[in-house]
Amino acid sequence: MYENEEMYAEVGRSYTPAPAANHIGFCIGVVLLGTVDHEYQGHKSRKKKIRLFFELTNTVNPDDEKGGPFIVSKEFLYSLGPKSNLKKMLDGWRGEALSKDEAAKFNIAKILSAPCMINVLIKTSQKGNKYNDISSISQIAEGTVVPVMKNKPYLFNFNPPFKTEVFQSLPEWVRKIIESSDEYKELTTGAVGTTTAAPANAVQPTVSSTGKKLPF
């Protein structure tokens, strides 16, 4: 017999979900996951996906050692077709729908640093864990005092040179999804070169045909 025979496997770390509410926030991350596994109504396929990250600026995350705000994210199929969830979200955020021509040439990087109202829900997984889900995103009402964004925005895609610095800064579970993508697998090992995160002023407000200011 050995001394100290007790052995315990590590379990998944739980986290504190952000409060369910409408929050003022900013888009701080645009991450192209690449072409990865997708399942819809029992049908499995490979689809190109993207995940958007938002800070809830006026919150304090108790799990953050630096006292930073909660960060929530949502995954979408990377499509701006008329029925796509990504387009519906962008249309609600802008307060004006992207036309077919606008959608065809829309640069998703424009949403970095753009402010918004984020409707956050708390849901329970099949394992009983609480997690956040983004229900909707909309414009911030005129006259609202908008706080200063606290996180540096970042962009990840597969455009050369490979964004090593940004990739390494992503959560491990996000990196694993990217590593499973067709695009990542096509890259040669030992890819070199880095890019810096997009500057905080990357987005300039646009104006609609009616003269209304839009977030992007």
Q: What does the pLDDT look like over 45-91, one tens digit per residue?
A: 999 999 999 999 999 999 999 999 999 999 999 999 999 999 999 99
Q: What is the pTM for the complete model shown? A: 0.85
Q: Could you tell me if residue 9 is inside a domain?
A: no
First-to-final CA distance of the chain: 68
> Is residue 163 within 8 Å of residue 195, measured between CB atoms?
yes
Q: Could you tell me if residue 204 is inside a domain?
A: yes
Cα 93 from Cα 168, distance rounded (Å): 29
Q: Could you tell me if residue 10 is inside a domain?
A: no
Q: Could you tell me if residue 16 is inside a domain?
A: no
Which domain, by its residues, includes 178?
21-214
Q: Could you tell me if residue 6 is inside a domain?
A: no
Residue/partner pairs of 175-179 with CB below 8 Å, 24 or more apart: 177/33, 177/36, 178/31, 178/33, 178/34
Q: Could you tell me if residue 39 is inside a domain?
A: yes
**Residue-level pLDDT at 199:** 42
Stronger pLDDT, 215 or 12, i.e. the higher one = 215
What total of structural domains would you count in the chain? 1
> Is residue 130 within 8 Å of residue 124, measured between CB atoms?
yes
Q: Could you tell me if residue 132 is inside a domain?
A: yes
- Which of 4-8, 39-43, 77-81 has the largest mean confidence? 77-81
Q: Could you tell me if residue 8 is inside a domain?
A: no
